[in-house]
């Protein structure tokens, strides 16, 4: 049996579609290749948003008592402009 991918428009066999019990026919409307491209793009996007957190340990002060996080954020943005995006 064949199905047309709604993303790329190609007709492919059902085993090329992701199994999903809640979808009609038990398969998604996107093929596995398109599904993986979308998921990878979403992953890369979320990694870009999370990237500044990686640099916190480099300039975080040793005394963590009373701390002004707004000033710390400004220091991080100034020290690592490439990380902020």
Query: For residue range 10-59, what is the model confidence (pLDDT) as tens digits?
Result: 999 999 998 998 988 889 999 999 999 999 988 888 776 666 666 665 65
Whole-prediction pTM = 0.52
- Of 83, 63, 65, the closest CA to residue 73 belongs to 83
In whole angstroms, what is the distance from residue 66 CA to residue 9 CA? 57
18 by Cβ neighbours in 10 Å (0-12 / 13-18 / 19+) ranks as middle
CA 31 to the chain's CA centroid: 19
Domain that includes residue 21, residue range:
2-84
Q: How many domains does the chain have?
A: 1
């Amino acid at each position: 049996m064949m199905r047309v991918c709604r993303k790329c428009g190609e007709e492919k066999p059902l085993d090329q579609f992701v199994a999903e019990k809640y979808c009609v026919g038990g398969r998604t409307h996107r093929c596995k290749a398109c599904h993986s491209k979308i998921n990878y793009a979403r992953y890369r996007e979320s990694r870009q948003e999370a990237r500044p957190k990686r640099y916190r340990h480099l300039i975080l002060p040793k005394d963590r008592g009373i701390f002004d996080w707004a000033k710390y954020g400004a220091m991080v943005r100034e020290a690592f402009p490439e990380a902020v995006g």
